[in-house]
Every structure is written in C-alpha cells, then in structure tokens.
Structure 1
Amino acid sequence: MRIHIPGFGGEVPAIPPERLSDHQATLATNCLLDDADLTPLHAPQTLTDQPQIPQPKHNTLYLYSPGKWFVFEDDVDVVPSPILQDAFGRVYFTGAGKPKVTNNTLATGSGVLPASAYELGVPAPSKKPGTTLQPGSGEDEEGLDDDETRYYVYTYVTDTGEESAPSPLSNRLVMTKPSDRVALTLSAPDNNISGITHFNVYRSAESAEDALFQLVAKLPLHTTSYTDTKRQDQLTHVLSTIDYLPPPEDLNGLIGLDGGMLAGFTGSTVCISEAYLPYAWPDKYQLKTKWPIVGMKALPGGAVVCTEGEPYLLMGTAPDAMMLETTGTQQACVSKRSMVAMDGYVLYASPDGIVRVAGGVAELISEPLFKPRQWQALKPETIHAYYHEGEYIAFYGDTTNGLGYGTGGFILNPGRRDVRYFDFYSPAGYRDLKSDSFYILMTGKLKKWSGDAVLPATWRSKKFKTTVTNFAVCQVQADDISGIEITLYADGNLFHRQTLTTEFDGTFWLPPGLHSTWQVEIKTTKPVRAITLAESPEDLD
C-alpha cells in the first residue's frame, strides 16, 4: 500500500479534509502550483527608484510613464486618453474629489504625483454676451425684406482645444443694413480650473433660437471686447458643443470603453462621454439602474456594472447606442476594489463569495470553495484584487479573527477553482500591461510582485484514510532536496518530522507505527514534484 501525491493543487476549504482529491490541499501558503509542481512563491522585490508615497495612507498606484508613478491616498480610477499617441499625454481620473485630467505638462514634478491637474470638463460661460448694435452708414431701404434677426453666444476653449457648451443667448438684435456692426463684451471665468485660454464667438443666421450658430471669431482670454463686422458668407464652422457638459462633480468609477468613450457613475446613474472627447458628458447619454452602483469594469464591447443588488451589462459601440441589461442574478458587490476584468469576464466579491460575470450570465464560482463562515472571515468588503498571469490576486482584511484568515492575501485560480494564500499584505497594486509586470506597495515601498528571493512555502495534504498501516518509507522527488522539511501526521497527531540534507537521495525511513489516517506537510524553498509514502522501498515505484 502507498500514498502517492504526483502533483499539487490549492485549497478547497469548503470540502472536509478527508473528502478532498489526492492533489488538493488543506493548507497552501506562499505556493506557486504551475504544472502541478509545488514551487515557492517569489518574494516581492523593492525597486531601486522609489516614488514619493503619501503617508500613512496610499490606496491607488498608476504608472504614468517609465519611472513616473501616480500614488493616491484614496481609491482612484485612472484612465489614459482614448486618443492614440495623445500629444498632451492626458490621463483622466475620478475618486480624488471632482473628476480631473492631467497631462505631460501638469503631471510630473517633485513630490507626490500627479503634481497638478485640472478639473475635468470645460464649464460653459454663465453670463450671456453683452451686445451693442452700432448702426452702419446709409439708409435702410424700406419695403425690402432684408432685415436680419441675430443672437450671439460664446464658449470657452482650453489649451488642448477642448470647447465648452455655449453661454446663454444674447439679447435679440435686428440688423437693418449690411453695414451694421455689433460690439460684444465677453466674460472670462471667475476661477479658471480647466486650463481655459480663449473664447470662441458664434452668431445665429436665423431668427429662431434653435438655429445653427456659426463661428465669428477666436479670441484670447484676455480679449473681452470684440466688434463683429463679418458678412454671413464669411462664416463656416458650426457650433457643435451645445450639450458638452462637464461630468457630474461626484462622478466615480471611471473606465475606458471601446470606441473612445469613457464611462463612470453617480448614485444609480451610468454616465457616458462623447466618443474621443472625454471632457464632454451630455445628459442624454445617461442610463439608470435599479440599485445604487458600486463599480464598473470594461470588457470588449461594453462593461460590467456592479450594484448593491445585481450586476448589469453595459453594451454598445457609440454613446447614443449604449444600453443596460440586467443579468437577473441578485448578487450584490460588497467591494468596488474587488472587481477585476479577467480574460473576457469580470470577477467580484459578493456576500456569498466570488461572482463571475461572463456572456450576460452571473455565476457564484466560489460556492464549492468557501462555506459562508469561511468566506465572511476573509472580510470580503475589504478585498481589493488584481489580474496577473491568469489568476485573481486579492488582498483582504484590516483585522484578525479566530479562523486563521487574518490580514493577508489569496490567489484564486479560476480554471482549477482552488485557492492558496500568501502571508503578506499590500494596500495597493498595479498591473503594467506593457511589461506584463505586477507592482504593489508594502510598508511604504514600491515593490515588484515576483523578485529573485523566494518565500518559504507550506503545503499540507488532505487526510488520507487507509486500513491500519505501517508506512515505513517516504520519498520526495525534487532536483534539490536540501532544506526541505517533511512533517507527517498520523491519526491527528504529529508522527514524524524530517529535514532533508544532501546526505539523502530524497528517500528516508519512517519510525514504526500502525495508523489509519495520514497527512503530509511540506515546507520548502525548493520546487517539489511529488511525494510518496510506502510500506517498503519496493512499493515506492
């Protein structure tokens, strides 16, 4: 008789130890289980170049450019410009007060980055243009229907060319002669929080207030007076920013969507920007959910919107064609930061476990992993998680408890549907797609997830039930056995502990003893391929 473990898996806490599969663990800490080998997790490695990090609180990391890290105290969502190779290097973010935008002029400098930012959006002028009709020379030819009714508006324009919605309409003017002129007075913003550099002045060609407005002049912000002498045939460009409002001041959860759109939420409202114009957020693109929104994550063709009740799918390819569809599964999201976009689906923490939303279906994939009390011990409302190397890497908790799931982290493998733990904590992480690297903050330092040094891994097997047996020999298969510690438990008690050295070939004798329940524990800093218990050396093969 023998117990042979040719490969190693993670924990499935919900299953009793004696009912696990032979490769599954009752304890898996600091383990990599690639190719079924037991390999120690590499320790996070402190980077040589360290960013300025706000203390004591730092919850968001973002790599703006090589060596330039944004670090925020709060939960902040950062989205790069949807414009490819944006000359201004613009980045948009929510969660740090009002929605903001920074660029390659404002972002970098000394101290905590970003060094500075504008409020996102360009506010429309609040005052209508002042107008004074200046009659031209000559007489009005009576009886000719050539009088022109005219209105004026103006907009604000930023240093990056972003243009606001228009001001209120001017007073009504009636032009009776072609030589009539209009003197205009414009109002600069009281508080320039958006990088406004000039005005655009428009006038109507018709008497109706909803007629098109055409561009008359572009004026520097310090030029608040202008006299319009242009003929109608000299005007071409049409005002297109009628409803280009700034985003709501409490917009949160910013994400980038396909088609150059940005999206965020406030309360139970999904807000969507104009395509490739992240500063413009027309009210007409807003969509409502039944429940207050917790967070959103983008997927190809849309996004998953998690709420305090059920997840929704946001779908569409243009701002005016977006729609919300419920999944029909009442699984609330308890932590915005637990939401992670994986390979074509989203995972998030619910009160009952980890939910996967894929193809319009929401499924509680962790149901076989955790019983309710085990899951709640992880403090799911504290989870913040990241995608790396096909796995869901999560940090949890700010407290300890009686179940052994204190502050720390776990790795969920969605394919195997098992979990393993690591014994350190980080308040913030960032995955860099360009380098396929994962970074975390630990004890106020920026670290790369997997460095050169290894952590001691601990793996404990299921409880193997046998007839009353005297296992006499144990064999460990590894390229380097030195320092590997093997602990055997028999009938719930410590039976034998052996630390391997180079004197061993991986095989060692066990003390005599008849037992019917066996458990194997391995502590190692070296990869292990397999372990076997047998009644004799001949039974090892």
Structure 2
Amino acid sequence: MARIALRGFTGESPRTEPYYLPEQAATVALDAAMRGGSLTPFRANSDPVVVFETNRQTIYLHGAEWLAWNTDADPVPGPVAQDRLYISFANTAPIIRVDGAEYPLHLGRPGAKPTLTRQGTFDADTAELVAYAFTWVTSLGEESGPSPVSAPILWSPGTTITVGSLPATPPAGRLVTQKRIYRSVTSTSGATELFFVAEIPATDVTYIHDIATAPIAEAIPTADFNAAPTNLRGLTGLPNGFMAGFAGKELFFSEPFQPHAWPNKYRQTMNDTIIGLAAFGTVLAVLTTGNPVTLQGMHPDQLTAEKVEQPFPCMSKRGIVDMGYSAVFPSSDGLVSISSQGGQLISDSIWTREQWLALQPTTFIAARIGTFYAFSYIPLGGGARKMAMIDPASPQPTLLPVSDGSSAVYTQISSGNSFILGTDMRSVRRFDNPSSAKRSFTWRSKPFRLPFARSMGAIRVDARAAAGETMTTRIYADGVLRHTTTRINEPVRLPAGEFTDWQIEMTGTATVMQLAMAQSLAELG
C-alpha cells in the first residue's frame, strides 16, 4: 500500500536535498503562513498608511505620528515622565525629540572657569578656602556636569563672594534657561565636594553669594556627568532606566533616568569594532566584527561582561533584532541567536554557507513580526529586494519567503502591528493587514519516491474555505503535471498511471489542515 499523508506543514529548507526533506516540509512555501500546523496564506498589505515626499530608510510610529529618516536611525522612548524620543543616527549627532521639536542630545559642561572676589570685613582666624563652579540647566529639567572649578579664595563668616566671569550666552539650541551655582566644602577627612547654593537665569554673568541668606544645600548630583558623544550610534534602552550606545570600539552608558548624561566612568572598550547592540531582559548583546559580548546587570557600574567564544561577526547592524528572549543577527556563517546562555547558529539546517552568502547578509534589514525574524535582502547579483521569515524559537526553523520587497521592516511594540517600507522608499503599508483580502499562497511538497512505480488513485484535501476562497491542487508524477483539482473536503479520483516520484502543489486562499493521497479511495483514511 502506498499512501502519502501531510499535516503540520512547514516551510523551506534549501540546504537539504528535496528527497531527504521531512514529509511535512516544502520545496516552495511562498506567502504561506504556518499557523497551528495548518497551511494558510498571509493577508495582503494595507493601502499606504503614509507616503513620504522624499526617500526614507528608517520608519517609526511615535504615538499617532509617522517619523522617518533617510539614514539608519535608532529611536528610543526616553525613561522620563515627559514624552521624549531619543534618536541616534549613522553619521550625525544624536537628538532629542520633544513635542515635535528636535534638539541636540549633547549637553556639554560649561567651559568657562568662574572668577571670585571677596567683599566685607575679613577675619583671618576663621578663614577657610572656598571655590565655586556652575552647571547648565534646561527647561527639560536636565543638568550638565560642572564647569572647571574656580581658583580658591579665602572666605570668613560675614563676608560675601562675588562669582564672576559667568558666560552671558548659554549653549544655543539646547533649551538652557538657568545656571546652578555650587560652592566647595571640605570635610574633616580632607575631602572636598561641591554643594548647591543658588539657581540663577542663564544669562546672568555674576552672582553674589551670602551664606547667611543662601546656606549650603545638597551635594552636586552631576559631578560625573558628561555629554553624549556627538558620534554616538545604536541607542538602545535597557531596564532600570538607562541607555547604551557605541562609537567605534567604545561602549557608552547613560546615567539611569538621566539620558542626557553619559559619564565617562561607565565607558567600556571592546576588542573589536562594534556593529550594533540589542537588549533583552537585563542582558545587553554587543555585536562586533569579531566575537559577540554579553553584559548583564541592573546598573551601568555593575555590568558583568562575558565574551561568546564562537567568532560570530555581525554582518549588518540593521539586521539585528531583539526577539524578546534573545537577539538574532546575520553573521558570516548564518543567522545567530544570542542569549544569556551564549550564541547559537540557528540557520545551519536551512542554508549551506554558499547559499547563505548568496543572500548577501550585509544587506539585511530586519524586524520582529510576531515570533518571526523577518528580513529583507538583496540577493547576490543584485536586483530587487526580497523578503522572508524564520521562527527562531522553532526546534527546526524553516524558511518562509514572502512576495514583498521591502526597504525597511518595522513593528510597533505597543500594538504589535508590523509595517513595511516599499521599494519606492516612500510608501508605508501594514503587513498582513487583518482587513485585507488573503494572498494566494503556493506550497509545494517534497518529491516522494516510491520503491517502484505505483499508481495513486485518489487524493483528499481537508481545508477550511470562507466565501470566495479557493484552493487548487496539482499532482505531479515523475516531474510532469498529471492532474489538477479545485475540490476540497471530498475524495478526488486521479488518472491511472504508474510512476515512481510523486509531488503535490497547493495554491489558493483557503486554509489547509491536512492532505492524503493513496492508491485507492479506501486507503485515504
């Protein structure tokens, strides 16, 4: 008895010789979504939700507003009460976006050193050395690190100190509205620290400090604050309110809940040039031109680094995707999943290295769509971009090609909706739009080789079809189309003829649960 039964359909595995594929695997699986083991098509994309006037490379939905840039960009919501978006770029300085306006992220320390003069009756017996510094304060509540500390001056009770040489013009375009004045205090142990005494308008050039009316208050909270580097790339949000970014081999971290401040004391230097970052849980994956590195911890000064022993160089920054439990990225040998347990090549069963390199992994642009890693690429030899998907969580991942040629892929975390930027680089459509008609998928089985030539007498396709949905099944024998049927949920007799190789192709919009083909109607089951 010869019988072929298919259920629990899967996608393509180009690496494997078709005859050796598992029974449920496909040699072609275009636009076929595998949901719960059934074979069903993706839906068509929506009409454009936005069309930009000029070309774009990165898209992002911020609330109800579409933002886009004609470069690689990394938008990250700020860990602050106000709605702010922090954005880094491939070749320009990072910015903050607030209420539709954009400002530089860089908030540098004041460069001017204050000068001091003393007024009043001086008592040398009670005198002590004091010094002053100041910071910039913005309307966003940000405060810079301190200026250079003034030369010290002797002060005694009853005298006042005039702090002068303060700049009249604050940094342009950075919403600086105030200066904060700090005075040094030396403890009994000999340690000197700055303490707050006053806040004055940013344009004031002097301040007279009388300790009787403006007593010493809290210690300066921004002593270690440095500005974000102007070449900072790859902004990535982490738990506990801090961000990461990189430049070259250097890794930078912001102060928790202070994304304008990037203390030098948190910097780390990698052995290899950093390509991109991904965060999942309390882990930051640093993907480089050599071995990946994972850092784990809840505060920038408590991060523990561990090098992944396998050399998995990252081939495309835009191909890095946070999958929630791990990060997936294209390496020189295939797709790699990296987690707190290390790195693992997950596409080894899908492509040979030669097949993988033919996808040109340096061209990958990817995003998470549901549980899938969805990627766009330019195949070797050029031509239009193609798109495909892989489920990294599957014990045996397979390839699901999609008939879209996207220039960018993006999923909004809050809604779970996925969008693609068309090859025109201007129009954005929702992918697999729930209210759109179903696409027509094509799924072709492996060739089933029988021990000797047999006649297959009947086929049955169990499918669920709503009004207007169709299914066409084609039966090939020894490489030649032998029969075509559009009937489902009932046995269909096949023409007589004995053949060794049998293959089944289904095309349509219905959902297929299972299929059986046998020598006789009775054997269909």
Shared fold, TM over 0.5: yes
State how far apart, in whole Å, the 2-side matches of 1:103 and 1:386 are: 26
Q: Which residue, out of 349, 358, 362, partners 1:381? A: 362
State how far apart, in whole Å, the 2-side matches of 1:170 and 1:54 are: 52
Describe the superposition over 1:255-289 as per-residue Cα deviations: whole angstroms up to 9, x where unpaired: 11111111111111111111111111111111121
Q: Does 1:64 align with 2:62?
A: yes
State how far apart, in whole Å, the 2-side matches of 1:24 and 1:8 are: 6
Q: 1:265 to 1:183 in 2, by over 3 A?
A: closer
What is the correspondence of 1:287-298 to structure 2 with a 5 Å cutoff?
287-298=268-279
Describe the superposition over 1:308-331 as per-residue Cα deviations: whole angstroms up to 9, x where unpaired: 111111111112111321011111
Q: Which amino acid aligns with 2:477?
A: A
On the 8 A contact 1:126/1:167 being kept in 2, the answer is yes
Deviation at 1:233, TM superposition (A): 7.4
- 1:112 corresponds in structure 2 to none
Q: Which residue, out of 100, 103, 106, partners 2:98? A: 103
Deviation at 1:398, TM superposition (A): 6.6
Q: How many residues align?
A: 513
- 1:258 corresponds in structure 2 to 239
- 2:73 corresponds in structure 1 to 76
Describe the superposition over 1:68-114 as per-residue Cα deviations: whole angstroms up to 9, x where unpaired: 1221211111111123xx1x21111111611211122xx2xxxxxxx
- 1:438 corresponds in structure 2 to 418
Deviation at 1:485, TM superposition (A): 2.0
| Equivalent position SS for 2:295 | strand
Describe the superposition over 1:333-366 as per-residue Cα deviations: whole angstroms up to 9, x where unpaired: 1011111121311111111111111233211111
Deviation at 1:446, TM superposition (A): 2.2
State how far apart, in whole Å, the 2-side matches of 1:210 and 1:287 are: 28
Backbone CA RMSD of aligned residues:
2.3
What is the correspondence of 1:334-345 to structure 2 with a 5 Å cutoff?
334-345=315-326
- 1:463 corresponds in structure 2 to 447
State how far apart, in whole Å, the 1-side matches of 2:186 and 2:146 are: 17
Q: Which residue, out of 236, 256, 265, partners 1:284? A: 265
State how far apart, in whole Å, the 1-side matches of 2:18 and 2:106 are: 57
Deviation at 1:511, TM superposition (A): 2.7
Q: Which residue, out of 468, 478, 486, partners 1:500? A: 486
Q: Does 1:201 align with 2:181?
A: yes
Q: Does 1:55 align with 2:34?
A: no
What is the correspondence of 1:206-245 to structure 2 with a 5 Å cutoff?
206=186, 211-231=192-212, 234-245=215-226
On the 8 A contact 2:168/2:204 being kept in 1, the answer is no
State how far apart, in whole Å, the 2-side matches of 1:180 and 1:27 are: 84
State how far apart, in whole Å, the 2-side matches of 1:507 and 1:321 are: 66
- 2:472 corresponds in structure 1 to 485
Deviation at 1:509, TM superposition (A): 3.0
On the 8 A contact 1:63/1:70 being kept in 2, the answer is yes
State how far apart, in whole Å, the 2-side matches of 1:29 and 1:189 are: 62
- 1:525 corresponds in structure 2 to 509
Deviation at 1:406, TM superposition (A): 6.2
On the 8 A contact 1:54/1:73 being kept in 2, the answer is no
On the 8 A contact 1:476/1:506 being kept in 2, the answer is yes
- TM-score of the aligned structures, taking structure 1 as reference length: 0.89
On the 8 A contact 1:46/1:445 being kept in 2, the answer is no
| Equivalent position SS for 1:117 | strand
State how far apart, in whole Å, the 2-side matches of 1:259 and 1:524 are: 49
Deviation at 1:153, TM superposition (A): 1.0
Q: Which amino acid aligns with 1:540?
A: L
State how far apart, in whole Å, the 2-side matches of 1:99 and 1:343 are: 25
State how far apart, in whole Å, the 2-side matches of 1:55 and 1:188 are: 41
Deviates more, 1:35-44 or 1:25-34: 35-44
Deviates more, 1:389-398 or 1:253-262: 389-398
Q: Which amino acid aligns with 2:62?
A: Y
Deviation at 1:505, TM superposition (A): 5.8
Q: 1:297 to 1:524 in 2, by over 3 A?
A: same
Deviation at 1:30, TM superposition (A): 0.1
On the 8 A contact 2:248/2:273 being kept in 1, the answer is yes
On the 8 A contact 2:57/2:70 being kept in 1, the answer is yes
Deviation at 1:47, TM superposition (A): 5.1
Describe the superposition over 1:130-170 as per-residue Cα deviations: whole angstroms up to 9, x where unpaired: 3333x32x5x55xx521232211111111011111111122
Q: Which amino acid aligns with 2:365?
A: H
- 2:158 corresponds in structure 1 to 178
State how far apart, in whole Å, the 2-side matches of 1:398 and 1:2 are: 38
- 2:107 corresponds in structure 1 to 122
Give the percent of matched residue pairs that are identical in Structure 1 and Structure 2.
Answer: 29
Describe the superposition over 1:205-255 as per-residue Cα deviations: whole angstroms up to 9, x where unpaired: 349996112222211122222222233971212212122111111111111
Q: Does 1:18 align with 2:4?
A: no
Deviation at 1:54, TM superposition (A): 5.2
- 1:93 corresponds in structure 2 to 87
State how far apart, in whole Å, the 1-side matches of 2:321 and 2:157 are: 65
Deviation at 1:374, TM superposition (A): 1.4
| Equivalent position SS for 2:367 | strand
| Equivalent position SS for 2:192 | coil
On the 8 A contact 2:111/2:148 being kept in 1, the answer is yes
| Equivalent position SS for 2:362 | helix
On the 8 A contact 1:399/1:406 being kept in 2, the answer is no
- 2:519 corresponds in structure 1 to 535
| Equivalent position SS for 2:286 | strand
- TM-score of the aligned structures, taking structure 2 as reference length: 0.92
Q: 1:181 to 1:265 in 2, by over 3 A?
A: closer
State how far apart, in whole Å, the 2-side matches of 1:332 and 1:411 are: 21
On the 8 A contact 2:463/2:512 being kept in 1, the answer is yes
Deviates more, 1:368-377 or 1:183-192: 183-192
| Equivalent position SS for 2:311 | coil
On the 8 A contact 1:428/1:441 being kept in 2, the answer is yes
Q: Which amino acid aligns with 1:450?
A: D
Deviation at 1:6, TM superposition (A): 2.7
- 1:349 corresponds in structure 2 to 330
State how far apart, in whole Å, the 2-side matches of 1:310 and 1:479 are: 48
Which ranges of structure 1 fall in alignment gaps of 5 or more residues? 108-115
Deviates more, 1:298-307 or 1:443-452: 443-452
Q: 1:30 to 1:232 in 2, by over 3 A?
A: same
Deviation at 1:53, TM superposition (A): 2.4
Q: Does 1:516 align with 2:500?
A: yes
Q: Which amino acid aligns with 1:246?
A: A
On the 8 A contact 1:39/1:457 being kept in 2, the answer is yes
On the 8 A contact 1:252/1:266 being kept in 2, the answer is yes
State how far apart, in whole Å, the 2-side matches of 1:329 and 1:372 are: 16
